[in-house]
A = this chain, B = another copy of it.
């Protein structure tokens, strides 16, 4: 049914970027576990990767090309992987429905990246030029629109109307989180409740949906689906907090992110909130940065970064991420142990150990 020819040239399979990260940070045993998962799921991962890359045509119109460029960059594919693993818990191996739900997850994520890069005037994404740099803002907007619709159509094709309805809600919540973030641009208010609302909307909600989708299509009962959803929500929160740490602590070569990019974009992150709590003199400094991010030169940027990481904020954020990870694992413990639950545990470890 599938032709694998074109994937011979595809340099990265799904877990390689994740395994690479673990290797670089010396988490060898974690990398080994990922390697094992990779071998175990190889056929599924090849199908997924091919389907993701073929969701948009590099020879199509401008919107297609903008979408295709992003989809061909090596992403972590952590969301579709979660869907596949959740479906396996119910004993459901890769089917057309599993594949459509998994790919839908990645396409929604990709659509938000295309739109976000326009919103944030981002120039790089996944270590390459952002689509908007190559094809323009307009193509990125239309490319995002197209991927959203493609994702919704794939979910509808499964006949799971409740999942479709929930995915629409997730997209609405993602848009809302972006809108709040947009509204707060130019301000810096270390509001931890709002922070949690934003990351649960923009990051965790699609993880929650993906795990639910896998569970539903895997035929699990309501209690198990609910545990998986909650696992997904907690995994997503942990994942985003680890991302926050990378913004201040990571090596841009590895993370594919510009150091300090969140602060420049006026995005609230957990380390900044903790830093202000620990040292109230930091708050006015960050407020000034938020007001005029362009004035943040290299020298001043280093000074402020030192001020922030001089507090306990990075460790406190890692600790909070570990708490979410522990809550995720507690949800997983409600399900019978299997290779799939073990693999999901490895995903959690990778999510929080990216920036170890």
Interface positions of A (Cβ within 8 A of B): 61-64, 115, 118-119, 136-139, 141-142, 145-146, 148-150, 152-153, 156, 161, 164-165, 168-169, 171-172, 175-176, 178-180, 182-183
A156 partner residues in chain B, CB cutoff 8 A: 161, 164-165, 168
Q: A118-B137, A141-B141, A149-B171 are in contact. List 15 more A-B contacts (CB 8 A).
A: A61-B182, A63-B178, A64-B179, A118-B141, A119-B141, A119-B142, A137-B137, A139-B179, A142-B182, A145-B148, A149-B168, A150-B172, A153-B165, A153-B172, A156-B164
Q: A200 to nearest B CB, angstroms?
A: 16
Residues in B whose Cβ lies below 8 Å from that of A171: 145, 149
Give the distance to chain B from A72, nearest Cβ to Cβ, in Å.
Answer: 18
Determine the chain B residues whose CB is within 8 A of the CB of A175 once the complex forms. 63, 142, 145-146, 149
Cα(A142)–Cα(B164), bound, Å: 20
* A19 smallest CB distance to B (angstroms): 34
Tell me how many chains of this kind the complex includes.
Answer: 2
Q: Which residues of B contact A172 (CB under 8 A)?
A: 146, 149-150, 153
Tell me the bound Cα distance from A64 to B156 in angstroms: 27
A115 to B62, CA, bound (A): 15
Contacts of A138 in B (CB 8 A): 118-119, 182
Q: Is there an interface contact between A145 and B115, defined as CB atoms closer than 8 Å?
A: yes
Name the residue on B nearest A174 (C-beta): B145
Residues of B within 8 A of A149 (CB): 168, 171-172, 175
Bound complex: CA A176 to CA B169 (Å): 25
Q: Indicate whether A62 sits within 8 Å of B168 (C-beta atoms), given known contacts A141-B119, A161-B156.
A: no
**In the A-B complex, the 6 residue pairs with the closest CB atoms:** A63-B179, A61-B179, A119-B138, A145-B175, A62-B183, A146-B175
Complex: A62 Cα to B183 Cα, angstroms: 6
CB of A64 to closest CB in B, whole Å: 7
CB-CB < 8 A to A119: which residues of B? 138, 141-142
Q: Are A176 and B63 within 8 A (Cβ)? A: yes
A156 to B178, CA, bound (A): 24
Neighbouring B residues of A64 by C-beta, 8 Å: 179
| Most chain B CB atoms below 10 A, which of A136, A139, A152, A168 | A152
Q: How far is it, in angstroms, between the C-alpha of A153 and the C-alpha of B156 when the chains are bound?
A: 12
- A29–B172 Cα distance when bound, in Å, is 45
Query: Would you list 25 pairs from A and B whose C-beta atoms are within 8 A, ordered by A residue?
Result: A61-B183, A62-B179, A63-B175, A63-B178, A64-B179, A115-B142, A118-B137, A118-B138, A119-B138, A119-B141, A136-B182, A137-B137, A138-B182, A139-B182, A141-B141, A142-B179, A145-B145, A145-B148, A145-B171, A149-B168, A149-B171, A149-B172, A149-B175, A153-B165, A156-B164
Query: Inside 8 A of A153's CB, which chain B residues have their CB?
Result: 165, 168-169, 172
CA distance A49 to B12 in the complex (A): 52
| Chain B, residue nearest A176 (CB) | B61
In the complex, residue of chain B having the shortest beta-carbon distance to the beta carbon of A185: B138
Closest B residue by C-beta to A157: B165
Residues of B within 8 A of A182 (CB): 61-63, 136, 138-139, 142
For A63, the chain B residues whose CB sits under 8 A away are 175-176, 178-179, 182
CA distance A118 to B172 in the complex (A): 20
Least Cβ–Cβ distance between A100 and chain B, in angstroms: 14
**Residues in B neighbouring A152, C-beta threshold 8 A:** 152, 168
